[in-house]
Chain A
Amino acid sequence: MKPPAFAYHTPGTLAEAIALLSRNGNARVLAGGQTLMPMLNLRIASPDHLVDLGRIKELAFIREERGEIAFGAMTRQREIERSELVRQRVPLLAEAVRWIGHRQTRNRGTIGGSLCHLDPSAELPAVAMAMDATLRAVGPGGARDIAMKDFSAGFMTTVLAAQEVLTEIRIRPWPAGHGWAFLEFARRRGDFAVVSVCALLQLDATGCVERVSVTLGGVGTAPVRVAEAERALTGRPCDGEAIERAAKACATVDALGDPYAPSWYRKRLAETLSLRALALAAQRTQRASR
């Protein structure tokens, strides 16, 4: 139950970090450590080199740039939870981050680490998917932007190359007056979500749905945008009937099954949670525009 031996590196700059990852095979990035350290302690991972990004100050920030909210990949979840900018401009994220693990793990865990680990039930990937986030990766060849919908390469695998570092996550906030809701079902508070839902709603002046985003976590290898649910609502009056139709669409999504929660149970949760989340988002929209 102790980590295996590795060579430990504390690069002071991103360029150094990338050089270390490029020079050394079997190297892992250490971000918040809340996922990698358990893997090291249990010897599920045995990197020869550990590249700790913790000393690269430029990788931790929350700021508004060109109409987007940009998060440095090393930003601790704690900072996101306490950010007034996030609370006001990206309330879905502010709500979701409180569901991640426990306070003690949020103090160290990072947004970049969570996205790169890509656990199917993780909250941050779900929000990133819901909001069409853009992820910036930097490698020896330079920087590239990856849309969140293109980030997953399969179960807990991203499209990042071994020498690439995720540096930044950018989210375009929905306009003021939009409704949002993040709901999750887990056996105990802080446990991995069995199913989670992100709902975002924007109504026009007549109360019809101008824009909607419905995302399920925990049902697929990556968060799933439920296009059918979004189609059931777009352009329609935002009423109970439309919401019910959208929720039923969520129940038809292919859902993972495991001994913990069979597929049918996740589909049932998906329907119930999306019904509640859309209703809550709708309430919040109306309240905002009053």
Chain B
Amino acid sequence: MSDTVDEREITLAVNGVRCTRTVPTRLQLADFLRQDLGLTGTHLGCEHGICGACTVLVDGCSARSCLMLAVQADGCEVTTVEGLARGAELHPLQRAFWEKHGLQCGFCTPGVLMSLLELLREVPDPTEAEVRDVLSGHLCRCTGYHNIVASALAAVVAVKSGEKI
């Protein structure tokens, strides 16, 4: 291999903000978000697709950002945890996690929130089984998942009472 770095220019929308950058083709989407854009809410736990901490939404679908190259997100809309809150106001999902103690160290939480956001947008009234099925793609070492499920179900209540997600 030569010493020149294989690079491409990409343009994508991240949390609604369009950005254009030139990136190495081997750069993971997760590292692009964290390092190039400073959006460190997306976490890297395992870098082989198992832990779920890196989960973001790409064109509305949850995806492991450690298993995508940044160049593959060219032309896409990416949503990260930083895109949830509206200014100083917590997103209903975040508020539910706050109220139901759905996080301790918070490392897995951003990924969990993005997966739950995808679920609630698709299925406004999911069963607990459906919530747990979505959560099966996330590893949490702190909570035992119990309060994560409770937070998700509390968010469902908020959605049913008309809150926008």
Chain A contacts to B: CB under 8 angstroms? 1-8, 10, 33-34, 37-38, 40-42, 48, 50, 52, 54, 78, 101-105, 107-108, 188-190
Question: What are 24 A-B pairs with beta-carbon distances under 8 A?
Answer: A2-B28, A3-B28, A3-B69, A4-B26, A6-B26, A10-B71, A34-B49, A37-B48, A38-B47, A38-B49, A41-B47, A41-B48, A101-B137, A102-B52, A103-B115, A103-B118, A103-B133, A104-B55, A104-B64, A105-B67, A108-B63, A108-B64, A188-B136, A190-B137
A78 in complex: contacting residue of B24, B48, B61, B66, CB < 8 Å: B61
Chain B residue nearest to A37 (CB atoms) is B67
Q: Is the CB of A8 within 8 A of B68?
A: no
State in angstroms the CA–CA spacing of A44 and B136 once bound together. 26
Chain B 14-30: CB-based contact to A (< 8 A → 1; otherwise 0): 00000000001110100
Q: Is the CB of A102 within 8 A of B136?
A: yes
State in angstroms the CA–CA spacing of A10 and B71 once bound together. 10
Chain B contacts to A: CB under 8 angstroms? 1, 5-6, 8, 24-26, 28, 31, 47-49, 52, 55, 61-64, 66-69, 71-72, 115, 118, 133-134, 136-137
B136 in complex: contacting residue of A3, A42, A190, CB < 8 Å: A190
Label chain A's interface by main secondary structure.
loop
Known: A102-B137, A107-B63. A8 touches B8 (CB 8 A): yes
Label chain B's interface by main secondary structure.
mixed
Interface centre among A50, A78, A105, A190 (most CB of B within 10 A): A105
- With both chains docked as a complex, state the minimum distance between the C-beta of A114 and any C-beta of chain B, in angstroms: 14
Q: Is the CB of B62 within 8 A of A103?
A: yes
Known: A37-B49, A38-B48, A38-B49. A6 touches B25 (CB 8 A): yes
State in angstroms the CA–CA spacing of A283 and B93 once bound together. 42
- Residues of chain A with a CB closer than 8 A to B49's CB: 34, 37-38, 105
State in angstroms the CA–CA spacing of A184 and B62 once bound together. 25
Chain B residue nearest to A101 (CB atoms) is B137
- Residues of chain A with a CB closer than 8 A to B66's CB: 37, 41
- Residues of chain A with a CB closer than 8 A to B6's CB: 5-8
Q: Is the CB of A34 within 8 A of B67?
A: yes
State in angstroms the CA–CA spacing of A105 and B63 once bound together. 7
B61 in complex: contacting residue of A41, A42, A107, CB < 8 Å: A107
- Residues of chain B with a CB closer than 8 A to A33's CB: 67-69, 72
- Residues of chain A with a CB closer than 8 A to B26's CB: 2-6, 8, 40
- Residues of chain A with a CB closer than 8 A to B115's CB: 103-104
